Chain A
């Protein structure tokens, strides 16, 4: 039915419409909002949880969840800083050490994701439980490695690494390019490959997928590896920003990433979802923080409260759209 399809399309556009409306409102309230500098700033800030949200989208569409991504980012950050410092101390050139650290981040993330996927598929443990456990484990290990303080990147390494976050290509900061590339690739995989279709099939009804000869365990496991790799990518962009990892690194990122996915129109029970929506969700959350910073109507301390209200409002609208 064309009417049904049109209404489905429109529903998909809801978050984007909200984002545009919010931007217009912000422009009206504060002339500093609609500047190139501010736009790039907002976009760059959104890349960390945005990239993680893209990976989270696969996991959630596939009917899973990962609560550990914030802790995982902290642990990866700590590990790669230690790795780079140790390489630097052994006389490896800073550029090379940074390259090793950056690829190490993706590798460690993938391995941790694999561990999640393995426990969930082979161990037959609920993803909520597995990742609730690792949420604690990852952050505790980082705290222990940092001895309760911070792990800091050595100065010469920090200088060599800085361009990855602060550098720009054609006037656009590197993290934004990476976010865009990741989102485009992920969108293509989710919508245009057998793998993406299988993820949706499993999230929609795992039994039906199993009976349709889909290798459910492999597809699920892979979605956690993808998410782990995305956490690695987010972390490798984040490390040069502050050059250190502490027990508060990546705190509550899991909630922001999950919120971005949900705001983007993906149902928490899985089955269908969109990368574009997820990107919009991540931007929306980031813009909310920015607007609160630039205006004085609502205290910035209430940022999380506003985000929370948006999440509930979006869920409410999705509920009304169901029969």
Chain B
């Protein structure tokens, strides 16, 4: 049993500082919830703990002795394991092969001792409550089962510090319940648990203490039982929620600009109907995997979809490609900024204008458009000739927003518009989105942050397993109500 201490940890990625002198200590066997908004630095701190990142300053201490992990293997050897949001499992290998990957048991002469590994794996699987053969390829497992394999792997490495980053994000309520039972058992066995989740009720249930981070800094720690969820939330945000969101304009009474009737995206969404008026902000809530992103990718022609009827400004339309959608005045901002939103190796102007270029390029006009966008959207760049990849997350996001607005759409779908940006940039983005609505655009915001939807939108639609559950007025919505609809427990 060891105490674990972070001592004045700093971390920068290039010129961008993400952690500032983070210090706190955890007693052996404690269960703490690590709270903070996206971009608060929780994941980076945990990656340092698990050996994936090296701190730029400060040190980790185990039982008072400074340790420095050269990689995840070194951290594992010290008994620290991290269960990722995305699993680090080799799909084609069997469960036993995965659990012993890099730590294979060998017979004399260097030959693999498969029998011993299978037997030990069977025992581990029993321990984590997974009733399947060690010889099953990981590919054949569900997400919840893969997670259990990850935990079994951590147990095999004799981990006594276990970090779990949003472990229930992809689980159904029943699967999550089973996971909680396993966690309780691990706690009873004396494992130190660091639990990251934005679901505050899980934090309440599983942890003894919470540690709050904000903008890369340690902010506060308190016994979990001493705080209400609302208090936890305002500690995370660092100010009253009302400060974060600009005042809402009244919900417009105009005719709907976009009407969608029974839109289906095979495998993801079924018969979803909704409409949005100019000047309105419509939110879409739901769990990961509920089909929100896919629904809108279907709407703009990025995926196969079918609908009974889609109308824009009273005209029936049939959108088969993002090009047609853009020509009709409908654009979509992807949730995946780096993979789908921006060309990181392109300049800012080339990114900004890509959706609508004249046949013969006019560089002077592109530069002028960039200068305007920098002004309008508050994009802060070292120079206008910089590459998009050199911007901070928040400024990249503003550029991505400017990009989907460059074709001057009438309807814009913003998927996770504030993912991975700091609180300051969030506030600016909320202001920008509010301004778009005030200018008469119909705005759809897809977000996993319920507070964001409640603070920003006029109405909120909730999707569960590809089906529309309800559409509620944001003024009467609470996080609990939205979660209840999203999980089907209302």
Q: Restricting to A221-267, which residues have a CB under 8 Å from any CB of B?
A: none
Closest to B325 in A: A213
Asked whether A201 lies within 8 Å of B331 as measured between CB atoms, the reply is no
Is B346's beta carbon under 8 Å from chain A?
yes
Within 8 Å CB of B340, what residues of A? 207-208, 210-211
Residue of A nearest to B361 (CB): A192
Are B355 and A213 in contact, with the CB atoms below 8 A? yes
A145 at interface, CB cutoff 8 A:
no
CB distance from A28 to the nearest CB of B (A): 40
| Chain A interface main SS type | helix
Contact B321–A192 (Cβ < 8 Å) = no
Choose from B321, B345, B357 the contact partner of A215 (Cβ within 8 Å): B321
CB distance from B98 to the nearest CB of A (A): 29
Instruction: Name the interface size band of chain A.
Output: 20 to 34
Q: Which of A177-220 contact B (CB under 8 A)?
A: 191-198, 200-201, 204-205, 207-215
B interface size (C-beta, 8 A): 31
Verify A208–B326 contact, CB threshold 8 A: no
Whether B345 contacts A193 by the Cβ 8 Å rule is: no
B97 located at the interface, meaning its Cβ lies under 8 Å from any Cβ of chain A in the complex: no
- Of the candidates A1, A191, A201, A205, the one whose C-beta lies within 8 Å of that of B385 is A1
Q: Which residues of chain A are within 8 angstroms of B383 by Cβ–Cβ distance?
A: 1-2
> Roughly how many angstroms separate A209 CA and B322 CA in the complex, as a whole number?
10
CB distance from A264 to the nearest CB of B (A): 18
CB distance from B321 to the nearest CB of A (A): 7
> How far apart are the CA atoms of A139 and B225 in the complex, in Å?
78
CB neighbours of A1 from chain B (8 A):
382-383, 385-386
B424 interface residue per 8 A CB criterion = no
Does A5 sit at the interface, judged by CB under 8 A?
Answer: yes
| Chain B residues, Cβ within 8 Å of A210 | 302, 322, 340
CA distance A197 to B352 in the complex (A): 12
Question: Which residue of the partner chain A has the closest CB to B366?
Answer: A197
Interface residues of A in 147-194 (CB under 8 A from B): 191-194
Contact of A117 with B by CB under 8 A: no
Query: Does A271 have its Cβ within 8 Å of any Cβ on chain B?
Result: yes
Closest chain B CB from A160 CB (angstroms): 39
Q: Tell yes or no: A46 within 8 A of B by CB.
A: no
* Interface pairs (19), CB distance under 8 Å: A5-B385, A191-B361, A192-B361, A194-B357, A194-B358, A197-B361, A200-B346, A204-B346, A205-B339, A205-B343, A210-B340, A211-B322, A211-B334, A211-B340, A211-B341, A212-B403, A213-B407, A214-B354, A271-B345
* Interface hub of A193, A208, A214 (most chain B Cβ within 10 A): A208
Per-residue contact bits, chain B 403-424, to A (CB 8 Å; 1 contact, 0 not): 1000100000000000000000
Q: Identify which of B302, B350, B382 contacts A211 (C-beta below 8 A).
A: B302
Pair A213/B321 contact, Cβ less than 8 Å: yes
Q: Which residues of chain B have C-beta atoms less than 8 A from A204's C-beta?
A: 343, 345-346
B359 at the interface (CB under 8 A from A): yes
Residue A134 is within 8 A (CB to CB) of chain B in the complex: no
Contacts of B359 in A (CB 8 A): 193-195
A208 near B339 with CB under 8 A, answer yes
A310 to B332, CA, bound (A): 46
B342: CB under 8 A from chain A?
Answer: yes
**Cα distance A207–B334 when bound, in Å?**
10
Taking the nearest CB of chain A, how far is it from the CB of B411, in angstroms?
Answer: 14
Taken residue by residue from 365 to 390, chain B's Cβ proximity to chain A (1 for < 8 Å, 0 otherwise) reads as 00000000000000000110110000
Q: Please state if B361 and A208 are interface contacts (CB–CB under 8 Å).
A: no
Cβ of B323 within 8 Å of any chain A Cβ, yes or no, is: yes
Q: Judge if A272 is at the interface, Cβ distance under 8 Å.
A: yes
In the complex, which residues of chain B have a beta carbon less than 8 angstroms from the beta carbon of A200?
346
Is B360 on the interface with A (CB-CB < 8 A)?
yes
Total A-B residue pairs with C-beta atoms closer than 8 Å?
71
- Residue from B302, B322, B361, B386 within 8 A of A194 (CB atoms): B361
Given contact pairs A1-B383, A193-B360, A209-B354, A201 touches B346 in the complex (Cβ within 8 A)? yes
CA distance A210 to B334 in the complex (A): 11
Please determine whether A192 and B302 come into contact, CB atoms closer than 8 angstroms.
no
Given known pairs A5-B385, A211-B322, the reply for A192 and B360 (CB within 8 Å) is: yes
Q: How far is the CB of B249 from chain A (nearest CB, A)?
A: 29
Interface centre among B326, B354, B358 (most CB of A within 10 A): B354
- Residues of chain A having any CB pair with chain B under 8 Å: 1-2, 5, 191-198, 200-201, 204-205, 207-215, 271-272
Determine if B360 and A207 form an interchain contact, defined as CB atoms under 8 angstroms apart.
no
- Measured between beta carbons, the chain A residues less than 8 angstroms from B325 are 213
**In the complex, what's the smallest C-beta–C-beta distance from A146 to chain B, in angstroms?**
43
Shortest CB-to-CB span from A291 to chain B, Å, is 36
B404 to A, closest residue via Cβ: A212
Complex alpha-carbon distance, A288 and B340, angstroms: 43
Q: B331 to A193, Cβ gap below 8 A? A: no
What residues of chain B lie closer than 8 Å to A205, measured between beta carbons? Answer: 339, 343-344
A201-B343 CB under 8 A given contacts A211-B332, A213-B326: yes
Residue of chain B at shortest CB distance from A214: B354
Q: Are A197 and B354 in contact, CB atoms less than 8 angstroms apart?
A: yes
| Closest Cβ–Cβ distance, residue A200 to chain B (whole Å) | 8
- When C-beta atoms are compared, the residue in chain B nearest to A215 turns out to be B323
A271 neighbours in B (Cβ, 8 Å): 345
The 8 A CB mask of B316-338 against A (1 = contact, 0 = none) is 00000111011000011010000
- Residues in B whose Cβ lies below 8 Å from that of A211: 302, 322, 332, 334, 340-341
Told that A5-B385, A211-B322, A271-B345 touch, could you supply 9 new A-B pairs with CB distance under 8 A?
A193-B360, A195-B359, A210-B302, A211-B302, A211-B334, A212-B354, A213-B321, A213-B407, A215-B323
Determine how close the nearest CB of chain B comes to the CB of A321; give it in whole angstroms.
14
Contact A272 B354 (CB under 8 A): no
Instruction: Tell me how far the C-beta of A241 lies from the nearest C-beta in chain B, rounded to whole angstroms.
Output: 36
Measured CA separation A1–B382 after assembly (Å): 7
With A and B bound together, what is the CA distance between A5 and B347 in angstroms? 11
A residues near B355, Cβ cutoff 8 Å: 212-213
A205 closest partner in B (C-beta): B343
B403 contacts which chain A residues (CB < 8 A)? Answer: 212
A273 CB to closest chain B CB (Å) equals 13
Q: Which 10 A-B pairs have the closest CB atoms?
A: A194-B357, A213-B322, A213-B326, A211-B340, A212-B354, A213-B323, A207-B340, A204-B343, A212-B355, A211-B334
Q: Are B343 and A208 neighbours in the complex by a CB distance under 8 Å?
A: yes
Cα-based distance from A272 to B350 in the complex (angstroms): 12
B357 touches A197 (CB 8 A): yes
B350→A197 contact, CB < 8 A: yes
A198 to B354, CA, bound (A): 8
Query: How many Å lie between the Cα of A24 and that of B345 in the bound state?
Result: 36
What residue of chain A has the Cβ atom nearest to residue B337's Cβ?
A208
**CB-based nearest B residue for A194:** B357
- Smallest CB–CB gap between A59 and chain B, Å? 19
The CA-CA distance from A215 to B357 in the complex, in Å, is 13
**Max chain A Cβ within 10 angstroms of own Cβ: one of B334, B342, B346, B358:** B346
Most chain B CB neighbours (cut-off 10 Å) among A2, A205, A209, A271: A205
Complex Cα–Cα for A61 and B385 (A): 21
Interface-central residue, A2, A205, A212, by most chain B CB under 10 Å: A212
Roughly how many angstroms separate A208 CA and B354 CA in the complex, as a whole number? 10
Least Cβ distance of B359 to chain A in Å? 5
Among A196, A200, A272, the one with the most B-chain Cβ atoms within 10 Å of its Cβ is A200
Interchain CB contact under 8 A, B343 and A207: no
Residue of A nearest to B339 (CB): A207
Q: Which of A193, A194, A272 counts the most B-chain CB atoms under 10 A from its CB?
A: A194
Complex: how many Å from CA A191 to CA B366?
14
